[in-house]
């Protein structure tokens, strides 16, 4: 058990190292032309370009650059922004609550919709209600996030507000610690934006997995014992069939925490995702690199945590 966790941890760290190497190669080695020139912008003076070159260590040999880079990463030093001279990690962490509100709320809504609907659908497998659910889920999955966001913005903000019901704001973020109700009001539409797409996926996973479990021998035995159907489903079949849902949930949470770029942009939320977009628009190299590595960190951590939880739930799984 402990051996497995240590192996997974080593594997996760290696994945992170690979990703950091890929980022280094992309920005320091494979860049067409001089990175310093590129990030200085069109109107930079020679002194500014030289300054950037020294600051990035671009005048050093490549292996020295690499060791500086990896050494800084290991000390959680992502450098300072070219634009406002602020510490990159501090900026990311300051914006994290926005993205975290979005991510955790979204995943909660996915699961809250998907598990009851999946159970409902699986119990009526092959019949009309099940087909309707499956078709609706597929339609939901087919919506790109930005289309959902744009349409929600139009209907629930613009049309509703024009009709005299200003229920939802057009965007922006209010900290939970400042005003929990306003926080909720501002988060509802962004949550719905992400919920439409994911709820369909999760419903299909929950339905499929539950159906598979219901066909297992032990469920047949439970039924043969004369247990009530509700008890068979909720006590015997549902808990073990949630494994793929938990896996997906963990992975998606990791992905969302790394930045929900489109949703943040549509709803004017200043989270980690919009930081990445802004950094590209301003050519802020340390911030771009910081957000990529930060996002990768969450995905790798989520992978690790999911695997460990699965082993705790079912010790038969081994690497």
Which residues contact another protein by CB under 8 A?
11, 14-16, 18-19, 22-23, 26-27, 30-32, 38, 122, 125-126, 130, 138-139, 141-147, 150-151, 153-154, 158, 211-212, 214-215, 251, 255, 258-259, 261-262, 265, 273, 276-277, 280, 283, 288-289, 291-292, 295-296, 299-300, 303
Terminal-residue alpha carbon distance, the chain: 11
The three-state secondary structure class of 87 is strand
C-beta separation of 158 from 168 below 8 A: no
Please name which of 313, 179, 166, 162 lies closest in space to residue 242, comparing C-alpha atoms. Answer: 313
Nearer to another protein, 38 or 58 (CB): 38
Judged by CB, which is closer to another protein: 242, or 299?
299
Say how far apart CA 161 and CA 252 lie, in whole Å.
33
CB closer to another protein out of 72 and 136: 136
For another protein, the closer of residues 237 and 245 by Cβ is 237
Q: How far apart are CA 6 and CA 9, in angstroms?
A: 5
Decide whether 28 or 110 has the Cβ nearer to another protein.
Answer: 28
Alpha helices in the chain (DSSP H): 2-24, 35-40, 46-56, 62-74, 88-123, 128-142, 145-152, 160-162, 180-214, 217-224, 229-231, 238-241, 243-257, 261-266, 272-282, 285-313
Is 233 in contact with 123 (CB distance < 8 Å)?
yes
Give min distance, CB of 112 to another protein, in A: 24
Shortest Cβ distance from residue 280 to another protein (Å)?
4
Beta-carbon contacts of 77 under 8 Å, excluding residues fewer than 6 positions away, are 89
Tell the smallest beta-carbon distance from residue 121 to another protein (Å): 10
Nearer to another protein, 126 or 226 (CB): 126
> CB 300 → another protein: shortest distance, Å?
5
| Least distance between another protein and beta carbon 51 (Å) | 20
Contact criterion met (CB below 8 Å) for 149 and 213? no
Tokens representing residue 47 in the block: 């002194």
Q: Judged by CB, which is closer to another protein: 56, or 292?
A: 292
Smallest gap, in angstroms, from Cβ of residue 96 to another protein?
Answer: 15
Helix (H/G/I), strand (E/B), else coil: 49: helix
Nearer Cβ to another protein, position 245 or 256?
A: 256
Return contacts of 183-187, CB within 8 angstroms, 24+ apart.
183/101, 187/101, 187/102, 187/105
Using alpha carbons, select from 307, 210, 290 the residue that is nearest to residue 251.
307
Shortest spacing between CB 147 and another protein, in angstroms: 5
CA 41 from chain center: how many Å? 31
Question: Shortest gap between Cβ of 23 and another protein (angstroms)?
Answer: 7
């Amino acid at each position: 058990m402990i051996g497995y966790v240590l192996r997974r941890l080593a594997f996760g760290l290696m994945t992170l190292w690979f990703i950091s190497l890929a980022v280094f190669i992309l920005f320091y080695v494979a860049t067409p032309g001089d990175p310093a020139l590129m990030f200085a912008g069109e109107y930079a003076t020679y002194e500014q370009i030289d300054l950037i070159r020294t600051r990035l260590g671009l005048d050093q040999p490549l292996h020295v650059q690499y060791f500086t880079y990896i050494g800084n990463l290991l000390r959680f030093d992502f450098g300072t922004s070219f634009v406002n001279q602020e510490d990159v990690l501090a900026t990311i962490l300051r914006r994290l609550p926005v993205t975290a509100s979005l991510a955790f709320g979204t995943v909660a809504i996915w699961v809250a919709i998907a598990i009851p609907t999946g159970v409902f659908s699986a119990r009526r497998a092959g019949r009309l209600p099940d087909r309707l659910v499956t078709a609706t889920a597929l339609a939901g999955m087919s919506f790109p996030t930005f289309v959902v966001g744009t349409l929600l913005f139009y209907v629930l903000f613009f049309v509703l507000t024009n009709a005299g019901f200003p229920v939802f704001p057009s965007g922006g973020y209010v900290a939970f610690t400042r005003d929990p109700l306003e926080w909720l009001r501002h988060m509802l539409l962004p949550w719905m934006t992400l919920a439409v797409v994911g709820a369909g996926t999760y419903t299909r996973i929950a339905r499929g997995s539950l159906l598979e479990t219901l066909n297992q021998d032990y469920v047949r035995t439970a039924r043969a014992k004369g247990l009530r159907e509700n008890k068979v489903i909720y006590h015997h079949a549902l808990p073990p069939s949630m494994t793929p849902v938990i896996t997906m949930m963990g992975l998606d949470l990791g992905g969302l925490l790394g930045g929900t770029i489109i949703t943040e942009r549509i709803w004017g939320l200043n989270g980690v995702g919009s930081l990445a977009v802004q950094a590209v628009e301003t050519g802020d190299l340390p911030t771009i690199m910081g957000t990529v590595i930060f996002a990768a960190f969450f995905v790798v951590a989520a992978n690790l945590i999911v695997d460990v939880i699965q082993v705790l739930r079912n010790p038969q799984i081994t690497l």
